[in-house]
Amino acid sequence: MTQSPTTPTGYLHGYSEEERERLHRQARFLEPMVHDRLPFRRRRRLLEVGSGVGAQTEILLRHFPEIHVTGVEINDAQIAEARRYLATVPWAQANGNPRYEIIKMDATRLDLDPESFDAAFLCWILEHVGEPARVLSEVRRVLQPGAPVVCNEVLNATFFIDPYSPDTLRYWMAFNDHQLSVGGDPFVGAKLGNLLQSVGFRDVTTDVKTFHLDNRAPASSSVSRGTRTPSSSIRSSRPERGPGDRGHAGFRPGFAPRTRRLARPPSRD
Ligand SMILES: C[S@@+](CC[C@H](N)C(=O)[O-])C[C@H]1O[C@@H](n2cnc3c(N)ncnc32)[C@H](O)[C@@H]1O
């Protein structure tokens, strides 16, 4: 079945209140990984594609005090939450004016002027669109020559959990199959380089980000229950232990490279 990109009914995570909260928690939990050394220091106009509830927008505005963020997002409830949230963030305003705008728009058809941005950031959106190359092509069109784009994505093939749990792994494969069946791609992280190159970006670099949670950091493990795809697996596989049952080390979830790619459109001079 072909899915219209303007119809988000097949969107994997849905648009519940719980999901919106998850996006906020996820962004905070993974901030050290996702926002590590982003190349936006001298940039002024950043395009954030699939800006969701504004959770990444807040972090971008905090890290880069000179930047203005234009977030594009397809879903009204996400947009409303992003606007509500960002209005409460002190560093999202400057001299009484917002340093951001959130626009309702389909990422595959950006109604934005060519070369109107000097940076772009995409986080966990390409896994949800049927035509990621089309989104990246649109991004390239609206970027100035030489402007950096950062794409952060999943590579769900790398999930591992201990103790070995065939049921959890079957669940995980079913989850991935479901994402594919609704038009997404849980393995898009591995394809970012090819995708960026295919639409004309150059100087593509890859950063493979992993996280590994174990009993050395139980606090992190509990925080991780609020994160994205691994959370379902961790929750569903967490062993129930009674008092005095000390023979087991507990659970050791490991997970999930988010593959990040940095690229620039070739300079046209
Ligand atoms: C997993 S969320 C990530 C949100 C945000 N980037 C973050 O990291 O918190 C993906 C978002 O992309 C949006 N989205 C999906 N398809 C889209 C499209 N074609 N155009 C614009 N936004 C889209 C969804 O509505 C959702 O809010």
Site to substitute for ligand 1 among 13, 73, 76, most atoms within 8 A of C-beta = 73
pTM of the model: 0.84
Distance 185 CA to ligand 1 centre (A): 14
HSE at residue 155, side-chain half, CA atoms within 13 A, is: 18
Residue nearest to atom 14 of ligand 1 (CA): 50
pLDDT in tens, the chain (269 residues): 344 444 445 799 999 999 999 999 999 999 999 999 999 999 999 999 999 999 999 999 999 999 999 999 999 999 999 999 999 999 999 999 999 999 999 999 999 999 999 999 999 999 999 999 999 999 999 999 999 999 999 999 988 888 999 999 999 999 999 999 999 999 999 999 999 999 999 999 999 998 888 888 765 544 433 333 322 221 111 122 333 322 222 222 233 445 666 777 766 44
The H or E element spanning position 30 is helix 17-34
Beta bridge partners of 123: 152
Distance 111 CA to ligand 1 centre (A): 17
Beta bridge partners of 162: 252
**Does residue 132 line the site of ligand 1, with CB under 6 A?**
no
Distance 103 CA to ligand 1 centre (A): 12
Domains of the chain with bracketed CATH = 11-156+184-211+258-264 (3.40.50.150)
Distance 74 CA to ligand 1 centre (A): 7
